[in-house]
Chain A
């Protein structure tokens, strides 16, 4: 493209087709990789891709996987993930991925093909009302109906995807717009007309927050995915702040890695399957500092019993997250990193002394809860405990010292991964938190591996979830991506089975994984390595073999079929009503119908 070397004057740019403008805009927005699947409406873009080398296209096997792969790419790099799919079914297949990215605030730009403008509304072949369908599935979407809007919309899509609270943006591209000549212009230097999210916190709110925090006797820092989204610097600032204050810190599922699991001030993940100490500290605290989390129902438990005695400070880049579920005393709108920097500065400048004696007493109380050792389990006999499999996987990867990224599917294995795999750095943990999308982990790991070719990328999976996007084994083979799929195979949709056991009288309706494939043969048929481990004595060797193999691997780990995921806050219960283990399962009997209606 000669236009790439010339100043982007309209005259020079009119030599470009719409498809070339799209690619140029991608390049100018720093895109190096795009995950996609071709089809009639996007053929002009594929033709343009063929004729350039700046952007690498990764051919997935299903459009949902393209979005999850872009999510993995985005979450592990901090960049915008990019997707290209065709019209109609290409776009509708992508919808699950888009909603996943919306709920987990992942920046994605998804380009969808569309029938030519003169056929829109005609029920043309592979036509769908993509902007209509994806309106509630995206942060924003566009239908480009005029060639002169194309370049502006492309730039705006990237701006919207990554600014403020990140999210997915769809750009619907009719085929004639891609074929016709279109002018190119670079991204405008001026501010967006209407979308200008506030990133800098209000000084007065910071002052109020510090006054509360300095006077706290039983404080807690509750940090979420917003800290990860704010970049690695925000995690460093969070660590500084927690060390400076001496406060305990808990992370949400999305926030794991924002604060190191090794740190003695880390009390573990909180929420439905969080640690006893994190949840009780949340319940009993007197001042709560929420940074970049959204008081999700998995975290709060029963709202009217959520941390009843505390004053709450909530810092979020999205004002609509504040006072949505939980009313707070000090709302702070801003980027997590900017808020933390302001808190650190204000903390240092503030003359008020901390109540050190109270803090010491608070830690003593927390250490008492820690003493319960809520994540204990017993590995004995000839059956592998799923917790043990994850724990050994973690210990062996640490011992090897390789840069390791973990993705998961959704269910019990996901919670065990969150509980037993420790994260010391941000951006190393990819999981579908908000939407809970089974089938997320394999394509996400694929996207991570593309971004980090030399890293160890492991999808901790369940045997049911993995089948939801198993076709991506083909993508792994094609691009020689050495992703490791670590299946905790209990032959059940484990979390469904657990709820049926605890809440539905043990009637295991449709939750048994019948007619499973032979995962070893399945791996081999996709040109990967298959390993099956059934004996605890072989577990370590199996894990080491999986990691050592230079290509993709499916490790099928047969684990205890009836193991439940604990601790657990039953639906509709409060943090201090959590169940620690099987011996307390009777506690679930007390779940009211009101609790049962909650998911």
Chain B
């Protein structure tokens, strides 16, 4: 325990919380109050009764900071479970993005070809615009957006990452 790596690492942390008013403010306030990073944060109820929500936080810091983040999250009264997916083994990360591209002529065709290559779906179209929907990890969406920028990207809406461990083991 004494030798913590000083290099920062990314961590994807899943937090199961009691779905009560103010819980998101508690979690976000913890990060801002203690000076931790939030790269992305998603939240939605996940059980059949709607009482439990799952928050997925992508953060980064030294090993000591990540340990602190987890311990601080865990001591919030409405928190049921904190799980460091990055540390605990292979896991899947997905993000959904809606990407609006405006253009005509050859650029429009290029946008469609690229969307096809990235398996992005067209969910809205006008004579001068497309909205693409794509899912993937953050890198894939970043790459797609980078390619779309010179050919008419005007707006991006992203959910932030959701993640789950591979294999049969559940978070509980």
Chain A contact residues, CB within 8 Å of chain B: 131-132, 135-136, 139-141, 143, 145, 160, 164-165, 193-195, 197, 318-320, 322-324, 327-331
26 CB contacts below 8 A, A to B, read A132-B22, A132-B25, A135-B22, A135-B25, A135-B26, A139-B77, A140-B77, A141-B22, A193-B80, A194-B17, A194-B18, A194-B77, A194-B78, A194-B79, A197-B75, A319-B75, A320-B72, A322-B71, A323-B64, A323-B68, A327-B1, A327-B3, A327-B4, A328-B1, A329-B1, A331-B1
Chain A binding surface, main DSSP class: loop
Give every chain A residue within 8 A of B3 (Cβ-Cβ).
Answer: 327
CA distance A330 to B71 in the complex (A): 16
Which of B33, B74, B75 meets A136, CB within 8 Å? B33
User: Do the beta carbons of A319 and B71 come within 8 Å of each other?
Assistant: yes
- Who on chain B is nearest to A197 by CB? B75
Knowing A135-B22, A143-B21 touch, does A323 contact B29 (C-beta < 8 A)? Answer: no
User: Do the beta carbons of B77 and A135 come within 8 Å of each other?
Assistant: no
Knowing A135-B26, A135-B29, A323-B68 touch, does A329 contact B79 (C-beta < 8 A)? Answer: no
Give every chain A residue within 8 A of B68 (Cβ-Cβ).
Answer: 320, 323-324
Q: Does B142 contact A (CB under 8 A)?
A: no
Which of A165, A194, A327 meets B64, CB within 8 Å? A327
- Who on chain A is nearest to B32 by CB? A136
Closest 6 CB pairs of A and B: A320-B71, A140-B77, A195-B77, A194-B80, A319-B71, A327-B2
Q: Does B116 contact A (CB under 8 A)?
A: no
Give every chain B residue within 8 A of A194 (Cβ-Cβ).
Answer: 17-18, 77-80
Chain B contact residues, CB within 8 Å of chain A: 1-4, 17-18, 21-22, 25-26, 29, 33, 64, 67-68, 71-72, 74-80
Give every chain B residue within 8 A of A330 (Cβ-Cβ).
Answer: 1
- Who on chain A is nearest to B22 by CB? A131
Give every chain A residue within 8 A of B74 (Cβ-Cβ).
Answer: 319-320
Knowing A323-B64, A327-B64 touch, does A160 contact B77 (C-beta < 8 A)? Answer: yes
- Who on chain B is nearest to A328 by CB? B1
- Who on chain B is nearest to A311 by CB? B2
CA distance A320 to B82 in the complex (A): 13
Give every chain A residue within 8 A of B18 (Cβ-Cβ).
Answer: 193-194
A406 to chain B, nearest CB (A): 31
CA distance A395 to B21 in the complex (A): 54
- Who on chain A is nearest to B2 by CB? A327
Give every chain A residue within 8 A of B33 (Cβ-Cβ).
Answer: 136
B24 to chain A, nearest CB (A): 11
A31 to chain B, nearest CB (A): 21
Give every chain A residue within 8 A of B2 (Cβ-Cβ).
Answer: 327-329
CA distance A136 to B29 in the complex (A): 7
Give every chain A residue within 8 A of B77 (Cβ-Cβ).
Answer: 139-140, 160, 194-195
B67 to chain A, nearest CB (A): 6
Give every chain B residue within 8 A of A140 (Cβ-Cβ).
Answer: 76-77
User: Do the beta carbons of A318 and B1 come within 8 Å of each other?
Assistant: no
User: Do the beta carbons of A318 and B75 come within 8 Å of each other?
Assistant: yes
CA distance A327 to B21 in the complex (A): 35
CA distance A327 to B3 in the complex (A): 8
CA distance A131 to B77 in the complex (A): 14
Knowing A131-B22, A327-B64, A328-B1 touch, does A320 contact B29 (C-beta < 8 A)? Answer: no
CA distance A39 to B76 in the complex (A): 31
CA distance A407 to B113 in the complex (A): 75
- Who on chain B is nearest to A156 by CB? B77
- Who on chain B is nearest to A164 by CB? B75
Give every chain B residue within 8 A of A164 (Cβ-Cβ).
Answer: 75
Give every chain A residue within 8 A of B75 (Cβ-Cβ).
Answer: 164-165, 197, 318-320
Give every chain B residue within 8 A of A143 (Cβ-Cβ).
Answer: 21-22
CA distance A136 to B33 in the complex (A): 8
A118 to chain B, nearest CB (A): 16
B21 to chain A, nearest CB (A): 7
CA distance A519 to B4 in the complex (A): 55
B17 to chain A, nearest CB (A): 8
Given contacts A135-B26, A323-B64, list 4 more A-B pairs with CB under 8 A.
A320-B72, A320-B75, A323-B68, A329-B1
- Who on chain B is nearest to A318 by CB? B75
Interface centre among A139, A197, A320, A331 (most CB of B within 10 A): A320
Give every chain B residue within 8 A of A193 (Cβ-Cβ).
Answer: 18, 80
CA distance A145 to B20 in the complex (A): 12
B76 to chain A, nearest CB (A): 8
Which of A135, A139, A197, A323 meets B1, CB within 8 Å? A323
Give every chain A residue within 8 A of B25 (Cβ-Cβ).
Answer: 132, 135
Give every chain B residue within 8 A of A328 (Cβ-Cβ).
Answer: 1-2
CA distance A319 to B70 in the complex (A): 10
Interface centre among A145, A160, A319 (most CB of B within 10 A): A319
CA distance A320 to B4 in the complex (A): 16
Give every chain A residue within 8 A of B64 (Cβ-Cβ).
Answer: 323-324, 327
CA distance A87 to B163 in the complex (A): 42
- Who on chain A is nearest to B72 by CB? A320
A328 to chain B, nearest CB (A): 6
B32 to chain A, nearest CB (A): 9
A325 to chain B, nearest CB (A): 9
Give every chain B residue within 8 A of A141 (Cβ-Cβ).
Answer: 22
CA distance A203 to B48 in the complex (A): 38
B59 to chain A, nearest CB (A): 15
B139 to chain A, nearest CB (A): 31
- Who on chain B is nearest to A141 by CB? B22
Give every chain B residue within 8 A of A145 (Cβ-Cβ).
Answer: 21
Give every chain A residue within 8 A of B72 (Cβ-Cβ).
Answer: 320
A463 to chain B, nearest CB (A): 34
A261 to chain B, nearest CB (A): 33
CA distance A84 to B75 in the complex (A): 26
Give every chain B residue within 8 A of A318 (Cβ-Cβ).
Answer: 71, 75
Interface centre among A132, A141, A323, A328 (most CB of B within 10 A): A323
CA distance A288 to B28 in the complex (A): 35
Give every chain B residue within 8 A of A320 (Cβ-Cβ).
Answer: 68, 71-72, 74-75
B137 to chain A, nearest CB (A): 30
CA distance A336 to B29 in the complex (A): 29
A471 to chain B, nearest CB (A): 31
Interface centre among B2, B21, B25, B79 (most CB of A within 10 A): B2
CA distance A318 to B68 in the complex (A): 11
CA distance A594 to B18 in the complex (A): 43
CA distance A350 to B1 in the complex (A): 24
Interface centre among B22, B29, B33, B77 (most CB of A within 10 A): B77
CA distance A324 to B72 in the complex (A): 10
Give every chain A residue within 8 A of B29 (Cβ-Cβ).
Answer: 135-136
- Who on chain B is nearest to A329 by CB? B2
Interface centre among A136, A143, A329 (most CB of B within 10 A): A136
